[in-house]
């Protein structure tokens, strides 16, 4: 019998600055239910969207701590941390890496067929 439970992430914690959070799985539909600020009126809409996406995963008791962490002026959560955290959560949830594939070597390589005729 194929057990698909082994596809679930085992590590359910992450740390940002001095705070540790527990995250949970969410339904796939939840991940696509976001709409960016269509009017472009809010210059911070992208950050609010990222926070909302991260909070989908964070256990309820961590929501207030996340908001306080994000509001800090000293030792703030950086753009790099936000990007890396959201990417990692998505990878853990989907079981697939979101990294770009490694670049291939440019140019035409020799094959067994082309080297025989030379």
Instruction: Indicate whether this model's pTM tops 0.85.
Output: no
pLDDT tens per residue, range 44-94: 888 988 999 999 999 999 999 999 999 999 999 999 999 999 999 988 887
pLDDT tens per residue, range 3-25: 888 877 778 899 999 999 999 98
Q: Is there a contact between 21 and 12 (Cβ–Cβ < 8 Å)?
A: no
**H or E stretch covering 94:** helix 79-94
The whole-angstrom separation of Cα 79 and Cα 102 is 24
């Amino acid at each position: 019998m194929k057990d698909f439970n082994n596809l679930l992430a085992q590590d359910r914690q992450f740390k940002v600055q001095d705070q540790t959070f527990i995250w949970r799985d969410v339904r796939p539909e939840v991940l696509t239910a976001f709409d960016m600020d269509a009017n472009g009126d809010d210059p911070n809409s992208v950050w609010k969207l990222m926070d909302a996406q991260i909070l989908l995963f964070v256990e309820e008791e961590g929501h207030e701590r996340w908001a306080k962490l994000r509001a800090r002026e000293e030792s703030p959560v950086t753009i790099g941390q936000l990007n890396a955290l959201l990417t990692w959560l998505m990878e853990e949830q989907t079981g697939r890496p979101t990294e770009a594939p490694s670049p291939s070597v440019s140019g035409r390589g020799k094959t067994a067929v082309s080297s025989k005729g030379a």
